[in-house]
Amino acid sequence: MIATFTPNPSLDRTLEVDSLVRGGVVRANRLRLDPGGKGVNVARVLASAGLSTLAIFPCGKDDLDFIHLLEAAHVPCRVVPIAGRIRQNISILEPEGVITHLNEPGPRITAAEVASLLAAVSDSARGAAWICASGSLPPGQDPDLYHQVARLAHENGSKVAVDTSGEPLTRAVNGGVDLIKPNRHELEEAVSGEIATLGDAIDAALALHRGGSGAVLASLGADGAVLVEDGRFWHAEAPVSEVVSNVGAGDALLAGFLAAGGRGPSALAEGIAWAVAKISLPGSQMPRSDQIERSLVAVSYEPEKSRKLKEG
């Protein structure tokens, strides 16, 4: 079983428009509601693929829509009650896949509520192969939170994957988590340097690996992903016929990687296949098993380090 921990979940509203005009009145053609937050997305894609998972997250008494959406998606949940209300994020989707994200900061969570969240993680780790701790932290939260999650999970026999950014990511690396999943921007931020080539990405991932992370799965958008573990590295990618929405693509990558064992180039290939399947779906909708096409994935055991990465 793979349990996920999302300290700052969100109700995601995706609006499809013909064009976005700043200062004008824009009428949406379509609205889609999804339960969101990186860890929640990982649990959703695992459940959609028919795999055992558990989503751990805080939720207020007025957030019933969020819980009902997860129940409809058959995602097992462990809800920790909080006094506040979770955030609502808006994604505006224009033709050709251009997306504008408007993300709220989220509620402030009390020390007692954090303690309840950590207790839920500790208890759930006893029956989990992985705890996947993902996303931003609520406002005012200790940046050491994911380090604390890792300690509790390890004490209870579970491995830990972390997908976050900034100081919480740095603290997690220093805390010796088993896996981190930064994207290109987060890699640049973590090593304070530009990632312009595949070699830059590999070198940055190796630096984080040597800094304390057991493995690094770095997502590179249209250029696929790089995996670094035990001092070795691989690159994988697959063609994308149409980008409908890239929201949650990194979460699908991580879910597929963990579902395939969380180690080695075969797990990297599985993660890429799941991410590509997600990109063809609207909003943060997650792929089913029958929508995953593995034959398109190419894995390089000797990546071309001089290759320039695509913009964006």
Confidence of residue 312 (pLDDT cuts 50, 70, 90): low
- pLDDT tens, residue by residue, 160-195: 999 999 999 999 998 889 999 999 999 999 999 999
pTM for this predicted structure: 0.93
What token pair was written down for 279? 């990109």
Average pLDDT rounded to a whole number, residues 46-55: 94
Is residue 56 over pLDDT 90?
yes
What pLDDT score does 109 carry?
A: 96
CATH architecture of 2-300: 3-Layer(aba) Sandwich (3.40)
Is residue 46 over pLDDT 80?
yes
204-208, 296-300, 307-311: which has the minimum mean pLDDT? 307-311
Cβ(153)–Cβ(240) under 8 Å?
Answer: no
Cβ(212)–Cβ(174) under 8 Å?
Answer: yes
Is residue 242 over pLDDT 90?
no
Cβ(130)–Cβ(267) under 8 Å?
Answer: no
Average pLDDT rounded to a whole number, residues 131-153: 96
Query: Of how many residues is the chain composed?
Result: 312
DSSP 136: P
> Above pLDDT 90, what percent of the chain?
82
Please tell me whether residue 179 adopts helix, strand or coil conformation.
Answer: strand
What pLDDT score does 175 carry?
A: 85
Confidence of residue 62 (pLDDT cuts 50, 70, 90): very high
- pLDDT tens, residue by residue, 187-219: 999 999 999 999 999 999 999 999 999 999 999
Confidence of residue 267 (pLDDT cuts 50, 70, 90): very high
Burial of 144 (0-12, 13-18, 19+ CB in 10 A): middle
Backbone angles phi, psi at 58, to 5 degrees: -85, 150
Strands 215-219 vs 225-229: parallel, antiparallel or unpaired: antiparallel
What pLDDT score does 240 carry?
A: 87
Average pLDDT rounded to a whole number, residues 283-301: 88
Bridge partners of residue 77, in order along the sequence: 55
Tabulate helix, strand, coil % of the chain (nearest 5). Answer: 35, 25, 40
Confidence of residue 99 (pLDDT cuts 50, 70, 90): confident
What's the chain's average pLDDT?
93
Is residue 279 over pLDDT 80?
yes
Active centre residues (catalytic)? 251
Average pLDDT rounded to a whole number, residues 274-302: 88
> Above pLDDT 70, what percent of the chain?
99
